[in-house]
A and B are shown apart, each in its own frame.
Chain A
């Protein structure tokens, strides 16, 4: 079972490594979206510090959505996905593996870039650490919930825009608690409560999302 999970993860990460262009697009999208905000709002440091955590979080959310429609689509197009669904291993493990791979490919780079962007927004060092920590807990949620949307919209016309429409509302708690944790550091009110709720949300998504997206895959492929 675990072997199957690792095989799925390894395969997806390898495939992404072979096609770096696709993979880098989402990362640069993240950097560019964040950099647009000061240009639109103005370079006033106090203001940037207030909006910084929220902007970085929203951009992470969008970048994660952008890369979602490729989660199952490539395998679906060349028929690999159908073979995977026919295999005796549970489909929930497949979707879990895919979500984990998506996080390794898209989530971890976001964590590494985020502090640099935080510096652009004039965030102090403690807030930068909290930003990385909150993204570390939060981005797996984005990948897990996103896999549901990717499975539901598999092979539909306008799938990319549709997946945004379906999944964005479900991301709201992650956004609130994630950005709230950084805000808590900035305002000195503490961020344990936010992090705990974010962790609880992660546990819940980890438990439920793979099953739901497995069911969604079955609905979409049958």
Chain B
């Protein structure tokens, strides 16, 4: 029983990191309608910008905030350079372009920053104990930040004008445009928010990983994809649900079936769900 509960705690912490990242991906899909293979690189950027700023003397939290904002801006810039010119050509050219962008970003980082693993500057902390269970402080922090992010995304989509316009553009871009929504501006804002969330996901991932290297985001990408599609692509609440299922699948699979198949469990869940619900649990937008 202790093991079961302890594994559940680990699963939730894993789900937290995945959820933040998946929500960002799904938001951008809602408006831009393609799967961004360069998304993992935004996570990597979030982590490395934080590391660089922290190295320059900023304390960790301000460094992370500045880094995350920078990733948001970088996202808009990259979208304008690489994706905007192709927006009218349908999803496939964009998808392949994003693979190219992923190569470019990841290897630029290696060119200028080397590829040895670096320590992410989080101090070593004793966990909290409750009964036989323990709660690593950093993981509790990650869980709180991800819950906060979910709440913020919820409020943004439901309570703000920008969010309403994003939802409108996501449901029917044509209709949104004739109703006076400046879709061009909404696309920029969406890129900013989506990349910013990715950057935040990267910081959380870096805290989990302790030691980081330039392929970190790319290696994590498939897990994010799995969560996003599982929930139904373009559905923020679906992405959160998908993240929990994937996190639970990975950690429980590791604990109870076989440690070396950990990622395979996550993907197997995805494939099985798609067999029965080809558009994901919440029914993805197309």
Whether A associates with B in a native complex is: no
Residues of A in contact with B (beta carbons under 8 Å apart)? none
